[in-house]
């Protein structure tokens, strides 16, 4: 079975509560429950941390276990060379996801340290960006 990890960084534990005009009203747990029903052929693992080093440790732990990673690194996207290095180090394809359109927001969100280490990026399509990233991996590995 295809093993995919969805990794969420800081403040994404507050989805559904946090700035709903930007990030929507749905909690991530609610969203993932639906996602698992839509992709019964995929084992979807989820991990969230507000701590940079914990995210890095989790990415390392994916080596040899996950075939693809969907990563929303939150604000660490714009600051963390260490997470970018982890993406490069693990040798697993990573798709970067942002719920909001980071290019349409503050200038400091326009830089991503991880984008060029990823196979691609999805931004601004809401929570559905996670599903599109999983769909990328099912297309890639199931054909
Ligand atoms: C985010 C965009 C980031 O700029 C922000 O810091 C987040 C969420 C998004 O999913 O749109 O925490 O990654």
CB within 8 A of 137, min separation 6: which ones?
A: 2, 4, 42, 67, 68, 70, 93, 95
DSSP β-bridge partners for residue 46: 6
Ligand 1 pocket test: pick from 17, 77, 106 the residue with the most ligand atoms within 8 Å of its Cβ. Answer: 77
What average pLDDT does the segment 37-65 reach? 98
Look at residue 142 in the predicted model and tell me its pLDDT. Answer: 84
Token pair in block for residue 61: 């732990």
- Average pLDDT value for the chain: 97
Q: Please write the tens of the pLDDT for every residue from 66-91.
A: 999 999 999 999 999 999 999 999 99
Whether residue 13 has its Cβ less than 6 Å from ligand 1: no
Whether residue 109 has its Cβ less than 6 Å from ligand 1: yes
Whether residue 74 has its Cβ less than 6 Å from ligand 1: yes
Q: In this structure, what are the phi and psi dihedrals at residue 43, rounded to the nearest 5 degrees? A: -90, 110
Query: Given the CA of residue 97, which atom of ligand 1 is nearest to it?
Result: 10
For residue 60, indicate whether it is catalytic: no
Look at residue 143 in the predicted model and tell me its pLDDT. Answer: 65
Composition of the chain by helix, strand, coil, percent to 5: 45, 20, 35
Q: Please write the tens of the pLDDT for every residue from 97-110.
A: 999 999 999 999 99
| Domains of the chain, first to last | 2-142 (3.40.50.9100)
Look at residue 112 in the predicted model and tell me its pLDDT. Answer: 98
Q: Please write the tens of the pLDDT for every residue from 19-42.
A: 999 998 999 999 999 999 999 999
For residue 98, indicate whether it is catalytic: yes
């Amino acid at each position: 079975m295809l093993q995919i990890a969805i990794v969420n960084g800081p403040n994404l534990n507050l989805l559904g509560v946090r700035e709903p005009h930007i990030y929507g009203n749905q909690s991530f747990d609610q969203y993932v429950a639906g996602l698992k029903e839509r992709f019964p052929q995929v084992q979807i693992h989820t991990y969230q941390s507000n701590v940079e080093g914990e995210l890095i440790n989790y990415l390392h732990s994916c080596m040899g276990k996950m075939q693809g990673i969907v990563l929303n690194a939150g604000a660490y996207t714009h600051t963390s060379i260490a997470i970018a290095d982890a993406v490069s180090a693990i040798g697993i394809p990573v798709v970067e996801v942002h719920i909001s359109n980071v290019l349409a927001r503050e200038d400091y969100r326009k830089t991503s340290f991880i984008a060029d280490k990823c196979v691609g990026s999805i931004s601004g399509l809401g929570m559905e960006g996670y599903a599109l990233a999983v769909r990328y991996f099912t297309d890639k590995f199931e054909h």
